[in-house]
Amino acid sequence: MKTAFQLSALQKETCVPASGVYAGLYYRAKGYAAHAKDENVIARAYAIASLFEAHTKYIYDNDRIAGSQRGLFAPLTEEEVQWAADVCKPYPERSFHTNYDHYAPNYASFLSKGIDGILHDIDTSIETHQGDTEKTDFLRAARISMEGFSHMISGYADAARKKAAHADTAEEQAHFFGMAAVCDHVAHKAPTTFKEALQLTFLCYISFNYEGRYAMAFGRMDQYLYPFYTADIALGRTTEEDVVCDLASAFIKIGEKRTFFGGDDVSNIAIGGVKPEDGSDATNALSYHILEAVRRCFIPGPNLSARLHKNTSPEFIDACLAVIGTGLGYPAMMNDEINIAALHRMGYSLEDCRDYCMVGCIENFIQGKQPAWSDGRFNTPVYLEYAINNGASLLDGVKRGIETGEPDSFATMDDFMAAFTAQLKAGAKSYVESFNSVNAVPDSVNHQSPYLSCYCDGCIESGIDINRGGAKYKSAHGACGMGIATVADSLAAIDKLVFKEHKLTLGQLRDVLASDFEGHEDIRRMLLDAPKYGNDDPLPDQYAKWFVDVQADLFDAYRLPDGGRYYTAIASNTSNIPAGKEIGATPDGRGRGMPVSDAASPMHGMDRSGPTAAALSLCKPDYTRVACGTVVNQKYTPDMFANKEKRAKLGAVIRSYFAMGGQELQINCVSKDTLRDAQKNPANYENLVVRVSGFSAYYTKLDTAVQNDILARTEHM
């Protein structure tokens, strides 16, 4: 910051690769080795404290908010790297499937207490649980971890003072002394200003990254930072522009993930929505400032989500669409009425449901009150194939499903649907057994997360780790049912052509699918011409409704190892592409090995009746039964975002869609011509951002199959 904040200069700085090698494991090993004879949870806490304290505290010249992953790289020797790997071999760690990351802390509570307040709570709990060694060990570990975090922030204060000492101007010197004062304060005390609150929040996020945690959400940032913002504005301590610049200075560094580790983070931020206490509109000035900050950054992350409801103002929807119209593809838009009802069905209090946010892509989460999220892919069309072929794959003939009868044994559509349901039931049982086997941690004492537990309600008070029952609620897992349109279109074709019109038998259809339509183009054309989901046609739409209901029924019956719930999702990320490789041709006319339909969207190119008809189909399933969330990808030409009048029309469609029961919507507005040219001339489009599925990404960095999948989406005008 030579004279003023320059976001472009900061972005350029954050894109420079770090010198040295990744030293995070080495710093952990130093702490772990020094305390290897202590209880494992204590040794691991010292490992985290060492990681927080030992790394270099790097501050960029244009920083307004401190915190960077660049300091994790150091000039280590090969011997040091190998030593660290050897020391940490017995150091057990959790993974995504054992609730390690994809978490949203209770930042509101953390900011209200500050680090010293958390340490006081820990000390009080230690006194309460004297005599219970397991609990006091956990609490001591939490204290060691949190003290390490405090020292890390003090280290950033020292680094800021060094920057000030070498400043070129008095203004620059004052700036970095101010940053040091902010860090000195929040290293111990609860924040009192907007800058202090944002600084502490961002350093929490950075500390999770140091630990190797991914997709750690910021939660409802416009809510928990709003009291600090309003106080500062009222007292003249900051300006609207300063707030946007501070936010952008933090958000731009989420892009460090790609520079240093080769991929983008999906650190979700939720804005808008309703207030937890009374359900009134929670959108505020900070909601708009966060939108503006991510627009200025123009990078794939953070993964911004806008919560909309029946009382959301048209102005806020327009502001969201204006940012989407830049090409970013976010914020994704979430329907509060549906999501709150879906979560409430799972047994959470209404107030907590109203305070939900998203982690990762679109996954609904009760912030700070449940263990970290996990999910998996449930390839629903596979079980349709098994129902058609008596449990056997059409690709290799191997019987992976159960026997439900040869295709010509079904006299009615109801008979066939019973067979399909039986295959799905067997598949859900297998899915749950497989996931529960990896989710259950036999040695849970040595897999505790005392630092993360400091950000979860109930853990410190009870002296119980977040993953051992300390959280208010039990864990949740999302089974992501893929290919809703592939299934709905296939069932509509079978219903119409086999059982209603008797154009062919199910056995004949099975043989045509096994041949991948070779020599049967007439039948394939007939299948392609059958009614398709996304056109407000009652036949495929009824099967989309069934798709949602049957999977909710099946997974509702199961529980996780800790007693938590299985949610369902209608989402696929980009897994619709590999999912398609696992199955043969399908009755909707899709060819062998081709991608299945994307998430909750109609099949690419099959929603031919315009966006209104697509919306009418998409809102027919009962998404209050889908507690995880859905992904509906739509593509509009850039012209739709050219002015406020056109955005108002699109906003009206979105509002109507949500009023009729739609759960989620996200939009790409990059033209097909631009995408095709980017494939041919990637060097000209290095900064082209598109919405992929539940996240945005640089288009030219995506696999060609994913690029083609985005290209194939129906483009509405």
CA 104 to chain centre: 10
CA–CA distance, 466 with 265 (Å, rounded to integer)? 23
pLDDT at 307: 98
Tokens encoding 214: 């991914």
Strand boundaries in 198-339, DSSP class E: 268-272, 303-308, 332-335
pLDDT at 4: 62
pLDDT at 675: 85
The pairing of strands 689-691 and 357-359 is unpaired
Instruction: Tell me the β-bridge partners of 480.
Output: 377, 569
pLDDT at 715: 64
pLDDT at 92: 63
Residue 699 near residue 690 (C-beta atoms within 8 A): yes
Residue 712 near residue 351 (C-beta atoms within 8 A): no
| Of 255, 252, 242, the residue nearest 4 (C-alpha) | 242
Residue 349 near residue 359 (C-beta atoms within 8 A): no
Tokens encoding 592: 């062998």
- 545-564 residues labelled b (16+ CB within 10 A) or e (exposed): bbbbebbbebbbebebbbeb
pLDDT at 3: 44
Which residues have a Cβ under 8 Å from the Cβ of 659 and sit 6 or more positions away?
310
pLDDT at 255: 93
CA–CA distance, 494 with 526 (Å, rounded to integer)? 11
The pairing of strands 332-335 and 303-308 is parallel
Q: What is the pLDDT of residues 342-366, one digit of tens each?
A: 999 999 999 999 999 999 999 999 9
SS3 call for 328 = helix
CA angle 553, 557, 561 (to 5 degrees): 140
Q: How many CB atoms lie within 10 A of CB 501?
A: 11
Residue 332 φ/ψ, nearest 5 degrees: -70, 150
CA–CA distance, 689 with 668 (Å, rounded to integer)? 9
Q: Report the predicted TM-score, pTM, of the whole model to 2 decimal places.
A: 0.94
Ranges of residues in the chain with a pLDDT under 70 are 1-4, 90-93, 693-694, 714-717
C-alpha dist (Å) from residue 550 to 428, 519, 586, 624: 11, 35, 20, 13
CA–CA distance, 329 with 506 (Å, rounded to integer)? 42
| Of 225, 304, 292, 110, the residue nearest 233 (C-alpha) | 225
| Of 549, 223, 454, the residue nearest 356 (C-alpha) | 223
Q: How many CB atoms lie within 10 A of CB 151?
A: 14
Residue by residue, what is the 3-state secondary structure of 162-186?
HHHHCCCCHHHHHHHHHHHHHHHHH
SS3 call for 211 = coil
pLDDT at 91: 67
CA–CA distance, 625 with 592 (Å, rounded to integer)? 31
Instruction: Tell me the β-bridge partners of 363.
Output: 359
| Of 336, 353, 335, the residue nearest 344 (C-alpha) | 353
Q: What is the pLDDT of residues 168-195, one digit of tens each?
A: 999 999 999 999 999 999 999 999 999 9
